[in-house]
Chain A
């Protein structure tokens, strides 16, 4: 008795009931496909969040004002917020300090506004106009598509120049006209377009390209006034230096703002790296949950195998009796039905892998799935084990049948 023959009998058994075999296979197919696809979607959404954060710059720290416990109370008492929690250009400059802040590469003061831009009849409300210094571009990973960036001279001279994002460019100038060198109006003040930025795409809900940059001094002059900065954008020397840079910024600013050690600070330092870590663990949980749901459907598919194999064994009791009467040992019967079950689940598993891989080529709920090779191996192995596990009960039942009882079975 060779194993090859047992395989032959198992294949013949599956072929004898093609539709039933196909439907049972479908259960496993869906389970395995779902595991691969959903894990890929989970991974894809994680990758997407990560990419969005990367777009903003991985070495990036942002310092913003915070009406914290002490600061808030102090602000209320004095009646002026700026005396306690203003972020100033001097603050920004103080952060570039090779001795006290060795991990800080650049520091850019930022003011923001959301003005209306017009160009020969076309009007566009810019979601974010940033007034800053040249270091800002590299810190936030903005690249130039054409023209030139803002220079230090532009800042010192408070020149009315502007660099615009793709959305602003197409809204005002259309797709055919070259915006560089054109003059547009920002809240009725004329600006010359110096350059156009490369597109970043949307980061979640916001359109990152609905964006423009002008010299800090110009924006303060004509739009925001010379109050507190909205942000200081700090670029650390490397992604791994961000935590050290965060500590350095905190101690420098605390000293400059004369904060007591116990007081909660009137500013907040946001670290992209820690944001990344948080988002990583969130998407990991998300992926595990998706995988678990898919795994349940895989188990349901396995129960389908048990079910169908029990029906098969009952239906073929007489056949089992005949085989036993002709001298089939228990192991041969066990093997035959076990192999049938495992073949069902393996075929289902293989088709499920194919279906899962095809599914991951599509965008699911706005997420581009990212295939996790381990999930393929795991889903396939689990489907084989499911065949073994869920098939062993019916197969064992078949093998244990008493020959004469099996033959008498109607």
Chain B
């Protein structure tokens, strides 16, 4: 198992993400930038993928396409088996709301809006009633350890706390796919560890996670690492396999797995 082909790795009947020869070109003929030059990728349900690569290699471009925030210039994208290209504007909004939780490097919380209201926002667009919404947003914030800071505005929170609010917002709708573009890029090592612990728990709860990172020790949390270079995938490795990032860490991870799993069951992730 494993190796370079991650598609038939951890088996769900249907892959969450299926990219087929995706190209993305910015600009016109003369000044065209080829951000993606034929990316094919399959991510099965429950996978935990780290995307790495030099700056400008097309990581964010790929992530935005996967998150239905952008559309490929050519190629196929199936999300949960649905051809995204054929979705209407309304359906796309629905997909972004129900299936995907997005965490950004720059947090992207609504300014002048309390943590609770920020986390409630996707539920508002999902049409969840006030009381239910409040309950779920509170639970999500408690899960990320911010149960005491419900009414704080983003400018009253530290960067790490803001990112945890953003994670709470991403998971509050219980999406099948969580995407994170450099979620720890603006955080110190302690805050990074907090946020990554959250992702680990979500992974153990069965969510599919794709995150972009530049840092090896962040990527090590994942079970699979994909490298991009100049808009192409140059490597796709699975944890524990021959070319895995660092061998010493992978052994330790399995030891603490049981502990994490029980923690995840306490939180109302599912």
A interface, CB within 8 angstroms of B: 1-2, 5, 12, 16, 318-319, 321-332, 402-404, 407
Contact = CB atoms under 8 A, between A and B. Distances in A.
Given A1-B125, A332-B125, A326 B96 contact: yes
B86 to A, nearest CB: 17
Given A327-B173, A404-B69, 12 more contacts: A5-B124, A12-B113, A16-B112, A319-B111, A322-B109, A325-B102, A326-B102, A326-B122, A327-B96, A328-B97, A329-B90, A404-B64
Contacts of B160: none
Contact of A322 (B70, B94, B108, B127): B108
Contacts of B113: 12
Interface string B97-135: 110001010001111110000000110111100000000
A407 B108 contact: yes
Contact of B93 (A318, A321, A328): A328
B72 interface: no
Contacts of A329: 89-90, 93-94, 125
Contacts of A325: 67, 69, 96, 102, 108
B169 interface: yes
- Nearest 6 A-B pairs (CB), nearest first? A327-B97, A329-B93, A327-B96, A326-B122, A404-B69, A404-B70
A117 to B, nearest CB: 79
Contacts of B70: 402-404
A327 B89 contact: no
B93 A324 contact: yes
A330 B93 contact: yes
Contact of A2 (B69, B122, B127): B127
Contacts of B67: 325
A327 B122 contact: yes
30 contacts: A1-B124, A1-B126, A12-B113, A16-B112, A319-B111, A322-B108, A322-B110, A323-B121, A325-B96, A325-B108, A326-B96, A326-B121, A326-B125, A327-B93, A327-B96, A327-B97, A327-B98, A327-B122, A327-B126, A328-B93, A328-B97, A328-B125, A329-B90, A329-B93, A330-B93, A331-B90, A403-B70, A403-B96, A404-B64, A407-B104
Contacts of A404: 64, 69-70
Nearest to A333: B93
Interface string B34-59: 00000000000000000000000000
Contact of B96 (A2, A12, A324, A402): A324
A324 B96 CA distance: 8
Contacts of A324: 69, 93, 96
Contacts of B124: 1, 5
Contacts of A5: 124
Contacts of B69: 324-325, 403-404, 407
A403 B102 CA distance: 13
A410 to B, nearest CB: 11
Contacts of A318: 108
Contacts of A402: 70
Nearest to A5: B124
Interface in B59-100: 64, 67, 69-70, 89-90, 93-98
A1 B127 contact: yes
Nearest to B94: A327
Contacts of B109: 322
Contacts of A330: 89-90, 93
Contacts of A16: 112
A375 to B, nearest CB: 40
A2 B126 CA distance: 9
Contacts of B173: 327
A1 B121 CA distance: 10
B22 to A, nearest CB: 15
Contacts of B126: 1, 327
Contacts of B102: 325-326
A12 B153 CA distance: 14
A5 B112 CA distance: 17
Nearest to B117: A12
A202 to B, nearest CB: 60
A272 B268 CA distance: 88
Nearest to B127: A1
A325 to B, nearest CB: 6
B167 to A, nearest CB: 13
A319 B93 CA distance: 15
> Considering residues B98, B125, B173, which has the most beta carbons from chain A within 10 angstroms of its beta carbon?
B125
B87 to A, nearest CB: 12
A283 to B, nearest CB: 53
Contacts of B122: 326-327
A106 to B, nearest CB: 79
A12 to B, nearest CB: 8
Interface in B126-177: 126-127, 169, 173
Contacts of A332: 125
Interface-central residue, A2, A321, A325, A407, by most chain B CB under 10 Å: A325
Contacts of A407: 69, 104, 108
Contacts of B112: 16
A326 B169 contact: yes
Nearest to B108: A322
Contacts of B97: 326-328
Nearest to A6: B124
B84 to A, nearest CB: 13
B69 to A, nearest CB: 4
A323 B97 CA distance: 10
A321 B127 CA distance: 19
A409 B125 CA distance: 22
Nearest to B126: A327
